[in-house]
């Protein structure tokens, strides 16, 4: 296996690989911070209503802020090593990572928390949608906390103390992480859990899609069908953002195991992995953006986009309102009509 070195790359590739994670990591931090800020500023009632969903999104956001901030400082900005004498042998120094490098390696290893928390989020969708159980039970929240936070934190700390004179954390290509000499630790503590989470989320999303499709087929109203479709799409997008982020890193790792050290794959790796928070922000904010756009459209009652069923349903409802006014029957307010028509805001409060 080739080591994670860029010595064989051209100067242009080296420059691109060093600069790219600085930009993509900054974008990711902004996205994760936006999610956390939006959740924390919501009312207590709204937060508790969707506590499990908000709780998982906060873990994802905060751990992504930590790991993305660390990724923003590639080795171009960190003096990674210092020479330390071997005990009792002052004339035989060995290379030891400095504190900044170790801190960066620990923070990047904590990105495993983001990965496992996304798998827990997919489990939350499955429990809530497919099994039809309450996702607010304490046992689910405790299990999600152990899997997504406590285990990754324990592993990242454990790696700090493994090896007496041969640290597990150190120079690892573009970032400080688990060193090249500990490939087994890389796979055991990171890539195997990552690939398991990718397969696990894909399987669960297949069950969710099938279940929601059956629900939509049996639905009697157009608003219910639309709600189900939006729920399905929201879950798929979270899964897709996770797979998109880590697929290129996985391909690059497999290529390196096979002896291929491609600058293009390394560049894609450094581009996509730090963008997890940005993709999460797009998916999280999508229902709120659609609700905002719909409110803008519905500022004029006659806007056809505010009505379900197309122009025919719009004309029928207009005729019914006219008849009610002629007969003196109290008319339904426009806000109530919008609520009955299945506004997309229901998606933001479904979980």
Q: Do 95 and 83 meet the contact criterion of CB atoms below 8 Å apart?
A: yes
The per-residue pLDDT for 96 is 54
84-99 mean pLDDT: 53
- The confidence band for 53, taking pLDDT boundaries of 50, 70 and 90, is confident
- When comparing pLDDT for 77 and 128, which is higher? 128
Counting beta carbons within 10 angstroms of the beta carbon of residue 199, is it exposed (0 to 12), middle (13 to 18) or buried (19 or more)?
exposed
The per-residue pLDDT for 334 is 39
pTM of the complete model: 0.74
Question: What tokens were used for 41?
Answer: 């500023």
Counting beta carbons within 10 angstroms of the beta carbon of residue 182, is it exposed (0 to 12), middle (13 to 18) or buried (19 or more)?
buried
The per-residue pLDDT for 336 is 40
For the stretch 206-259, pLDDT in tens is 888 777 766 666 655 666 667 667 777 777 888 888 888 888 888 888 887 787
123-134 mean pLDDT: 79
Report angle CA 206, 234, 351 to the nearest 5 degrees.
Answer: 100
1-25 mean pLDDT: 73
- The confidence band for 93, taking pLDDT boundaries of 50, 70 and 90, is very low
Phi and psi for 135 in degrees, rounded to 5?
A: -90, 5
pLDDT at residue 318 greater than cutoff 50: yes
Is 11-297 a domain of CATH 1.20.1070.10?
Answer: yes
What burial letters (b/e) apply to 137-176, b meaning 16+ CB within 10 Å? eeebbeebbebbbeebbebbeebeeeeeeebbbbbbbbbb
pLDDT at residue 304 greater than cutoff 90: no
Give the Cα separation of 98 and 11 in Å (integer): 26
- Mean pLDDT value across the chain: 75
Q: Of all residues in the chain, what percent carry a pLDDT higher than 70?
A: 66
Every domain of the chain with CATH number 1.20.1070.10 lies at 11-297
For the stretch 110-125, pLDDT in tens is 999 999 998 988 888 8
- The confidence band for 333, taking pLDDT boundaries of 50, 70 and 90, is very low
327-350 mean pLDDT: 44
Give the Cα separation of 124 and 134 in Å (integer): 10
pLDDT at residue 78 greater than cutoff 60: no
pLDDT at residue 191 greater than cutoff 70: yes
- Give the residue from 227, 139, 155 showing the smallest Cα distance to 191: 155
57-73 mean pLDDT: 89
């Amino acid at each position: 296996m080739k080591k994670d070195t860029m010595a064989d790359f051209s100067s242009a590739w080296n420059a691109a690989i060093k600069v790219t994670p600085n930009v993509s990591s900054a974008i990711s931090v902004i996205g994760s911070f936006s999610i956390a800020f939006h959740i924390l500023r919501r009312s207590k009632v709204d937060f508790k209503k969707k506590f499990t969903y908000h709780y998982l999104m906060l873990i994802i956001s905060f751990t992504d802020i930590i790991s993305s901030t660390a990724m923003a400082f590639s080795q171009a900005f960190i003096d990674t090593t210092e020479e330390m004498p071997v005990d009792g042998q002052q004339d035989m120094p060995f290379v030891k990572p400095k504190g900044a490098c170790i801190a960066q390696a620990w923070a990047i290893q904590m990105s495993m928390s983001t990965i496992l928390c996304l798998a827990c989020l997919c489990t939350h969708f499955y429990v809530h949608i497919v099994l039809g159980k309450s996702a607010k039970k304490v046992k689910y929240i405790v299990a999600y906390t152990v899997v997504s936070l406590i285990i990754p934190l324990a592993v990242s700390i454990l790696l700090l103390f493994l090896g007496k004179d041969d640290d597990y954390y150190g120079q690892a290509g573009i970032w400080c992480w688990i060193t090249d000499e500990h490939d087994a630790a890389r796979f055991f503590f990171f890539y195997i859990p990552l690939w398991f989470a990718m397969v696990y989320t894909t399987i669960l999303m297949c069950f969710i899609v099938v279940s929601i499709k059956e629900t939509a087929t049996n639905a009697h109203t157009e608003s219910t069908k639309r709600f189900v479709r939006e729920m399905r799409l929201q879950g798929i997008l979270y899964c897709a953002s996770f797979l998109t982020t880590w697929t290129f890193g996985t391909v690059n790792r497999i290529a390196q195991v096979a002896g291929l050290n491609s600058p293009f794959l390394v560049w894609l790796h450094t581009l996509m992995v730090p963008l997890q928070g940005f993709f999460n922000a797009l998916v999280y904010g999508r229902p709120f953006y659609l609700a905002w756009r719909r409110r803008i459209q519905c500022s004029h009652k006659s806007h056809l986009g505010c009505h379900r069923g197309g122009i025919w349903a719009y004309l029928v409802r207009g005729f019914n309102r006219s008849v009610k006014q002629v007969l003196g029957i109290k008319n339904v307010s426009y806000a109530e009509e919008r609520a009955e028509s299945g506004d997309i805001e229901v998606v933001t409060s479904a979980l």
